[in-house]
Structure 1
Amino acid sequence: MDVFENAPEQALAWHEAGQGAVLATVIETWGSAPRRVGAQLVIAGTGEMQGSVSGGCVEGAVVLEATDALEKGEQRVLEYGVSDGDAFAVGLACGGTIRILVEPVGSVLPVELLRGLMEARAARKPAAYVVGLSSGKRELAFGGYPDRFAMDRSGFEEDGNVFVAIHNPPLRLAIVGAVHIAQALVPMARVAGYDPFIIDPRAAFGSEARFPGERILSDWPDDALDEVGVDSRTAVVLLTHDPKLDDPALHLALKSDTFYIGALGSKRTHAKRVERLEEAGVNPTQIARISGPIGLDIGAASPPEIAVSILAEMTQILRRGA
């Protein structure tokens, strides 16, 4: 990922240490710009920096502008492009055009707002940082931009005057059942940007030898899910085929805000699963949230192919909804 994820935290740390801090954020791109909208660079008053807005092309120029903006306590909007002589001078020969918002912490970006954003991030609460470029108004929003939150897409509203920076919690994947499909799904999910973990109380399945270096929870599935928490950025995948393990996790997941619940099994197995849930008094609308049989119907046969179908369906529901 090309976004420096700890930019707000680093900016506040430098500010509170008395060094001064500036947040530089890519707010618009054209062509083959090297970083996407939302990418951030944090600059201390000493000139130290972390993150990137162009992969090294214009960082030096941005640091100079940020240092001056910090001294003067003012917001700046910078623009660099390959057709701009100044851009060539600072090294933007990699293509495209970028606009960068420069915000000194304290004088422009309110410290309390930055703290509020950090608290939301720590609590895994999706938040949008909304900036009126002309008005100077800055606020946090915890809703109101469903498409942007779904697509992790920062950008402009209101004819290019209001910039919305989306701060979604990292994606997580809870896999109940340390089976062969899980062995294929875990590395695939990690490449796709998820933080996966495996839940299985059966020691022979959930072993370090089968999942080297991975997080394995050996508690009963519902207890494990309750401990780690299931939110709107967590997917839950049930792979055991065993109602004693899957059903407790399923009941907890259905009460949560998880964006995806998938359960392995044939149509007949899923029909029996639905019957058990109905007998337990679960609402039909809630039951309909379950993707069962799990995964997109791509004719998958082997465990890796089934893992591909699961990850594809997770992506489809995350980005487009159920």
Structure 2
Amino acid sequence: MQSTQLEVLQAALKGLQQGFDVTLVSVVKTYGTSPRPVGSLLTVCSDGSFFGSVSGGCIEDDLLQRLVDNPPQRVAITVYGESEKERHHFGLPCGGTLELLLEPLRGCESDIEALIDAISTRRTVTRTVVISGTDEDDVAPALRAWHTDDKPELRGNVWQNVFGPVWRLLIIGAGQTSRYLAEMANALGYRIFICDPRPQYRESWRVEDTEFIAGYPDDAVRELQPDTRTAIVALTHDPKLDDLALLEALNSRAFYVGALGSFNTNHNRRQRLLEHFDFTEAQVGLLRGPVGLPIGSKTPPEIALAVLAELTALRNGIDINAQLSGRDNTPADDKS
């Protein structure tokens, strides 16, 4: 499955190519509880087709009717939930208010194509839109290379959004747990890669929308060249294979490196890395093991759910290590 950003932009480009008026809607500010974060996107075409979401369904019906019947001709801001009556009418939760940027895309085909190309080639870019506030033409959107302190935000009359590549997940091992993890991760927008040099596992893999990387796990990690939107999870239960992946993964830029097994298994693994491979305590500290959140998972689908819950927390900027300190958070059936 492709990232939501990419799908929204592809829907916008298709609408433009078919000659429709297309409006790109962006969440630029939220107050109170928000169903969607700042930067979320929605494409609306004048034929009534749409893709994406800015409120999880609270305001979409009203917004779609407005944008289909009367597409905006210039960049503008609209707000939902300014009054208690309006919040109640639209079902916005906990007093929430949404501030949205409405951007007509007619004539912006090349801009949208550039964004699609950036995401598809795993580049991250910042796109800026200036809201003129007059009847004059709005300043054309500008793209530039992303910097680490860039984030989606509205400053005065300047809206900045960050468009990045799809998230990637490299799974070491092609067993049953890996199958469930791959199927669930697809729904969350990951591009899935699998590595398993064992012929019987490789030949029995039947999960769609996944890509096999040939060779051993260390080769797979090097080939993938992990970046900060890449997660690596070792699930073979075979130290000879899992450790090969970890030797490369813990030296990479991957935002998540995890390994299946109990506390004892992972303690011994960390000791091996320290004693025999000259890893530092800081490097070994990056290893998430036991992998996944402590939800009492025992079956393969439950383990996959635990892993994706932890990945989702980290993607959203929540590190729960402190909350889990001292708990037996082994999500797998390996208690040895």
Q: What TM-score do you get using the length of structure 1 for normalisation?
A: 0.70
Q: Which amino acid aligns with 2:76?
A: R
Displacement after TM superposition at 1:296 (Å): 2.9
Whether the 8 Å CA contact 2:123–2:165 is kept in 1: the answer is yes
Match of 2:146 in 1: 142
2:120 and 2:184 mapped to 1: Cα distance?
26
Q: Which amino acid aligns with 2:67?
A: V
Does 1:166 find its partner at 2:168?
no
Query: Which of 311, 319, 322 matches 2:308?
Result: 311
Displacement after TM superposition at 1:306 (Å): 3.0
Displacement after TM superposition at 1:195 (Å): 3.6
Whether the 8 Å CA contact 2:172–2:194 is kept in 1: the answer is yes
2:257 and 2:4 mapped to 1: Cα distance?
28
Q: Which amino acid aligns with 1:213?
A: E
Query: Which of 244, 253, 259 matches 1:257?
Result: 253
Match of 2:329 in 1: none
2:288 and 2:3 mapped to 1: Cα distance?
32
- Give the match's secondary structure for 2:201: coil
Query: Which of 123, 126, 136 matches 2:124?
Result: 126
Query: Which of 286, 293, 296 matches 2:293?
Result: 296
Match of 2:75 in 1: 75
Match of 2:7 in 1: 6
1:288 and 1:32 mapped to 2: Cα distance?
34
> Structure 1, residues 138-159: CA drift from partner, whole Å, max 9, x if none?
444613547x5xxxxx5x444x
Q: CA, structure 1 residues 18+292, in 2 after alignment: closer, same or farther (shift >3 Å)?
A: closer
Does 1:223 find its partner at 2:223?
no
Displacement after TM superposition at 1:237 (Å): 0.5
Displacement after TM superposition at 1:260 (Å): 0.5
Displacement after TM superposition at 1:184 (Å): 3.4
Displacement after TM superposition at 1:262 (Å): 0.4
Q: CA, structure 1 residues 302+64, in 2 after alignment: closer, same or farther (shift >3 Å)?
A: closer
Displacement after TM superposition at 1:290 (Å): 0.8
- Give the match's secondary structure for 1:232: coil
Q: CA, structure 1 residues 106+311, in 2 after alignment: closer, same or farther (shift >3 Å)?
A: closer
- Give the match's secondary structure for 2:77: strand
Displacement after TM superposition at 1:238 (Å): 0.4
Does 1:179 find its partner at 2:183?
no
Does 1:190 find its partner at 2:186?
yes
Whether the 8 Å CA contact 1:52–1:59 is kept in 2: the answer is no
Whether the 8 Å CA contact 1:11–1:21 is kept in 2: the answer is no
Whether the 8 Å CA contact 1:222–1:248 is kept in 2: the answer is yes
Q: Which amino acid aligns with 1:206?
A: R
Q: CA, structure 1 residues 144+20, in 2 after alignment: closer, same or farther (shift >3 Å)?
A: farther
- Give the match's secondary structure for 2:303: helix
Match of 1:41 in 2: 43
Q: CA, structure 1 residues 213+61, in 2 after alignment: closer, same or farther (shift >3 Å)?
A: same
Q: Which runs of 5+ in 1 are unaligned?
A: 88-92, 149-153
1:98 and 1:316 mapped to 2: Cα distance?
23
Instruction: Select between 169-178 and 32-41 the one with higher mean Cα deviation.
Output: 32-41
> Structure 1, residues 72-120: CA drift from partner, whole Å, max 9, x if none?
xx4333456798xxx9xxxxx755576543334477x6x7755543342
Match of 1:58 in 2: 63
1:183 and 1:254 mapped to 2: Cα distance?
24
Whether the 8 Å CA contact 1:2–1:52 is kept in 2: the answer is no
> Structure 1, residues 23-77: CA drift from partner, whole Å, max 9, x if none?
4213356799997752222547xx68543665443334314543x61xxxx4333
Q: Which runs of 5+ in 2 are unaligned?
A: 54-58, 322-336
Q: CA, structure 1 residues 213+112, in 2 after alignment: closer, same or farther (shift >3 Å)?
A: closer
Whether the 8 Å CA contact 1:41–1:51 is kept in 2: the answer is yes
Q: CA, structure 1 residues 4+182, in 2 after alignment: closer, same or farther (shift >3 Å)?
A: closer
**Paired positions, count:** 298
Q: CA, structure 1 residues 40+3, in 2 after alignment: closer, same or farther (shift >3 Å)?
A: farther
Q: Which amino acid aligns with 2:125?
A: A
Query: Which of 225, 235, 254 matches 1:239?
Result: 235
- Give the match's secondary structure for 1:237: strand
Q: CA, structure 1 residues 98+266, in 2 after alignment: closer, same or farther (shift >3 Å)?
A: closer
Displacement after TM superposition at 1:206 (Å): 3.1
Aligned Cα RMSD in Å? 4.1
Query: Which of 277, 280, 283 matches 1:280?
Result: 277
